[in-house]
Chains A and B, each alone.
Chain A
Amino acid sequence: MEQIVLFSILNGLVFGMLLFMLSSGLTLIFGMMGVLNFAHASFYMLGAYFAYTLASRVGFWPALVLAPVLVGLLGALVERHGLRRVHRFGHVAELIFTFGVAIVIEELVQLVWGRPAKSYQVPAALDFPLFHLFGSAFPAYKAFMLLVSVAIFVFIFAILTRTRAGLIIQASLTHPGMVAMLGHNVPRVFMIVFGIGCALAAVAGVIAGPVLGTFPGMAQVLGSVVFVVVVVGGLGSLSGAFVASLLIGTLQTFAVALNVSVGNVLMAVGVPAAASAALHDVWKVTVAQVAPILPYLLLVLVLMIRPTGLFGTRET
């Protein structure tokens, strides 16, 4: 039991921090531009695929830097020539645009790299178990993932709170009109933030690709969950995204670890076993089975009770 708890915490942390890397970019973009970028997870996928190709040419470490830079540039291009164009049609049009970008990126990835999963492997230098506890191993690569995501976290906070550029970004989050009045080129700030957000997603893709698999559906698998994180945390709130990421990361790993069925829970709260016949299908469902849909339940609940999200200050 201790083993399950310990490893669940570790895995929850790794997964939660990975979610944070994705959601931090998304929430920054939303906070500034009011755009919920549907294609955000697609840039995560592009990160993994770019890194897969680069790693086989120049090695994993250069790829870790190069792939996010490339994806960031691509993101900036999409903002400059696509998003900015549809911006005048409003948020619904922007949302629809990013939805289209997500479809086209997924299809292009299949066109260029083919449909089967790619064998993007963990770099040899990190391919060993870091420690053994209670008979199961914790791979060094996961520790590395944790390290990278913590570093990124520190980096973002340092930039936002300690630099001039960060101040401008923070100001544009809340008072874009005022920032423009002061003579800053707000569209350019938007483009840079969009590019950086995409690059952050790509970093997540580069380091998650070998563990979670590199295949054309990888964006869809993570895409909706990242939305949940951002909305639950509060749209535009970085600290909210951080808390929500860890919350959902650990929620999911712990739900899997529990061997409890809905029937057990209902019995525990005093619903008589006789009800089981009527609710047969619900009764036998285990918490582990529904683990991946818990985030969506959480989302609906949060939006019903507190539409601004946990840490948010505004609704849309």
Chain B
Amino acid sequence: MRKLKNVLLLCLTLAMVTGLATQATPADPIKIAFVDPLSGPFAATGENGLNQFKYAAEAINKSGGMLGRQLEIVGFDNKVSPQESLIQLKKVIGDGIPFVFQGNSSGVAHAISDAVQKHNERNAGNRVLYLNYSAVDPALTNDKCHFWHFRFDAEADMKMAALTDVIAANKNIKKMYIIGQDYSFGKAVADGAVAMLGKKRPDVQIVGNELHPIGKVKDFSPYVQKIVASGADAVITGNWGADMVALAKAANDGGLKVPFYTYYAASDGVTAAIGAAGVDRIRLVHESHPGNPNAPKALSEYITGYRKLHPQNDVNQPRIHTALNMLALAVKKAGTVDVDKVAAALEGMEYTNLSGDQVIMRRQDHQLQMPIYISVHTNKNIQHDLDASGFGLSLESKVDRDKATQPTTCKMQRPS
């Protein structure tokens, strides 16, 4: 008897699922799924990404949309969990949305990429395209590459190639210290740095190569002491989030004045939290002009427009604009939203982005080829600051597309 009641309850619950899911399928706009954290500790990053997608989509919609249809960005909260991402991916597929954007965490990216590949192989009539705008693990466009994955950010090795070019040109650097979080990305940064520095500047001595547990270190002062004791002239780190802030603060407290070459030490609260502790110390390697000084006009207008809507947030991922516009062009070229045809149209596509650079989607591995920028954290001559903090990034050097490009081991298999 009781069981019957439970069963009824279950049916009711599931009927609710049905009701909720069917609500969301009007045919008119082209839907694009954004699968990233919208709750929990990384929600700030996810929400800002979603807003940048909506902002970029609005501009496309104003100029006629895709195939005469409007774009609609639909957010799905994956809680940066691979498991939740797969559930959300199933929801995306169930809603008949053909395009999926995701970027936060390489672990999640691997899960989604793998699931998309399996789904597409098993369900030829109902395929989805995975557009990766931020996950930088090189494997995604090397050993693990497949036809339905495209990457619009520079992978970790491209960034490292650019970084080591700059370091190689700096004759003051004789001793290098590498520190990172103990997981795939931290290790990829460390291995890349050792290999590439060894080639470009064999005289640079690696005086420390350290991995610390991710998100578990309470106090970075002991690490800073080791860096000081090693006599390093510069530090490379792939740290992000709280680990990055804490490292920068401990370096400031410990009187460590050497430059820190970083991947993620800006925006989403990190710039504000580091504040004065990072001036002329923190350097960032990224894929776009930092906006200071003398930003290209298109970028400057884009940033100003976005800041008007979201005064607290930054355009920290101009590649979102690139990715969405390249997708729109590909849909236009294919004349359909059929996933295989759009993917074919994206291959080899060229595009001029907001920084005024010509980027190209490489056919062999679906990795966007682009120049790389290196900027410094400062509060002098800042036109476009970050986190509304008065601090921002200022351009130091730029590495050309041809210099940053990396070979690939990908053997792309295309559906016949």
Contacts and interface: CB of A to CB of B under 8 A. Distances in A.
Tell me, yes or no, whether A binds B: yes
Interface of A: 1, 3-4, 7-8, 11, 14-15, 110, 114-119, 121, 129, 132, 134-137, 139, 141-142, 211-213, 215-218, 221-222, 225, 252-253, 256-257, 286, 288-293
Nearest to B48: A116
12 contacts: A1-B229, A3-B225, A8-B222, A117-B273, A119-B275, A211-B253, A221-B215, A253-B219, A256-B226, A257-B225, A291-B212, A293-B216
A221 B222 contact: no
B270 interface: yes
Interface in B25-52: 41-44
Question: Considering the complex of A and B, which 7 residue pairs feature the smallest CB-CB distances, nearest first?
Answer: A116-B269, A137-B255, A256-B222, A136-B228, A115-B44, A292-B216, A117-B273
A3 B228 contact: yes
B242 interface: yes
Contact of A216 (B41, B215, B225, B275): B41
Nearest to A210: B249
Which secondary structure characterizes the binding site on chain A? Answer: helix
A8 B225 contact: yes
A142 B254 CA distance: 11
Contacts of A115: 41-44, 269
Contacts of A218: 242
Nearest to B391: A119
Contacts of A252: 218, 222
Contacts of B273: 116-119, 213, 215
B217 interface: yes
Contact of A213 (B43, B210, B228, B242): B242
A136 B218 contact: no
Interface centre among B42, B218, B224, B229 (most CB of A within 10 A): B218
A217 B215 contact: yes
Given A3-B225, A15-B219, A213-B246, 5 more contacts: A114-B44, A136-B224, A136-B254, A253-B221, A253-B222
Interface of B: 41-44, 182, 210-213, 215-219, 221-226, 228-229, 242, 245-246, 249, 253-256, 268-270, 272-273, 275, 387, 389
A140 to B, nearest CB: 10
Contacts of A291: 212-213
Contacts of B223: 256
A222 B41 CA distance: 16
A47 to B, nearest CB: 16
B210 A288 contact: yes
Given A3-B229, A257-B225, A289-B182, A141 B253 contact: yes
B245 A213 contact: yes
A292 B272 contact: no
B249 A129 contact: no
A4 B225 contact: yes
Contacts of A14: 219
Contacts of B224: 136
B41 A225 contact: no
Contacts of A211: 219, 249, 253
Contacts of A290: 213
Interface centre among A110, A132, A211, A216 (most CB of B within 10 A): A211
A289 B226 CA distance: 14
A213 B277 CA distance: 13
B191 to A, nearest CB: 13
Nearest to B313: A116
Contacts of B272: 116-117, 119
A139 B249 CA distance: 11
Nearest to A12: B222
Contacts of A116: 44, 268-270, 272-273, 387
A137 B182 contact: no
A266 to B, nearest CB: 19
Nearest to B41: A217
Residue among A110, A117, A253, A291 with max Cβ neighbours from chain B (10 Å)? A117
Contacts of A213: 242, 245-246, 249, 273
Given A3-B228, A289-B211, A117 B254 contact: no
Contacts of B253: 137, 139, 141-142, 211
Contacts of A136: 224-225, 228-229, 254-256
Contacts of A286: 211
Given A117-B273, A139-B253, A212 B225 contact: no
A212 B218 contact: yes
B182 A11 contact: no
Contacts of B245: 117, 213, 215
B219 A129 contact: no
Nearest to A215: B242
Nearest to B273: A117
A137 B257 CA distance: 11
